Structure 1
Amino acid sequence: MDIKLSQCFIAVDDHEQAIPFYRDVLGLEVRNDVGYGEMRWVTLGSPTQPDVSVVLEPPLADPNAPAADREAVAQLLAKGLLRGVIFATEDCDATFERISAAGAEVLQEPIDQPYGVRDCAFRDPAGNMLRFSQPRT
């Protein structure tokens, strides 16, 4: 069987704040911007990975979800408790400097991890944790 990652989804509560972060700070290109009622999905991706997409979606992207469920997920997002994404980088320290210079909230400065990577972590504008990982040689 041959399978590979196609898309991953990141919950955001304000696309107008999230898009400049992912596009201008991280360098992803906007590939698609789709609205449906009050919801919106923005697809971005790395120019070096044309077959992998990151989709910025509402915290609960189900138009039939009860209001209580929407509120519960929005609260989890606001607390930074939803799962994040790990990006690979060839230079963790340079990536850290570029993202921190753009004003992103630093969660962890670059450190060597015991599981074979050097990584750092930030929060995106919605509160999601994003890690940037470089294999150690």
Structure 2
Amino acid sequence: MDIRLSSCFIAVDDHDKALAFYGDVLGLEVRNDVGFEGMRWVTVGPPAQPDVEIVLEPPLANPNASPEDRRVMAELLAKGMLRGVIFSTDDCDATFEHIRDSGADVLQEPIDQPYGVRDCAFRDPAGNMLRFAQRRGE
């Protein structure tokens, strides 16, 4: 059996701010930008991984959601309680400096983890946690 990751989803409340972060700061390329029923989905991905896409989606991609559901999703997003992504990097410290210098919200400075990586963490403009991990010894 051959199973590979194709897409993952991250909820964002402002696609333009998200694109500035994921594109300008992280260097991901925009692959698709689609509007449907007043909502917007944008796919981005690392240039070196053309088969992997991150879908920047509305917090509640359901046009029939109740106002209460929308309120709850907005609160969870604001608290950073929805999805997160872990990126790999060949230099955690340099990645940290670059992202920190962009003004991103730092959650964790680079540290060596007991499970074999050195990593750091940030929040994206919507509040999602993003981790950047370097395998020790690389």
Provide the TM-score with structure 2 as the length reference: 0.97
Instruction: For 1:95 and 1:26, locate their aligned partners in 2 and report how far apart those are by CA, in whole Å.
Output: 9
Amino acid at match of 1:89: T
**Counterpart contact for 2:12–2:59, Cα < 8 Å:** yes
1:2-81 equivalence runs, <5 A: 2-81=2-81
Amino acid at match of 2:18: A
Instruction: For 1:64 and 1:112, locate their aligned partners in 2 and report how far apart those are by CA, in whole Å.
Output: 45
Give the root-mean-square deviation of aligned CA atoms: 0.8
Aligned residue for 1:76, secondary structure, equals: helix
Q: CA deviation at 1:83?
A: 2.5
Give identity over the alignment, percent.
75
Aligned residue for 1:96, secondary structure, equals: helix
- Alignment partner, residue 90 of structure 1: 90
Task: Say which is worse superposed, 78-87 or 43-52, in terms of deviation.
Answer: 78-87
Amino acid at match of 1:9: F
Q: CA deviation at 1:82?
A: 1.1
Q: CA deviation at 1:67?
A: 2.1
Amino acid at match of 2:20: P
Provide the TM-score with structure 1 as the length reference: 0.97
Instruction: For 1:112 and 1:79, locate their aligned partners in 2 and report how far apart those are by CA, in whole Å.
Output: 26
Between the two proteins, the alignment pairs up a number of residues equal to 137
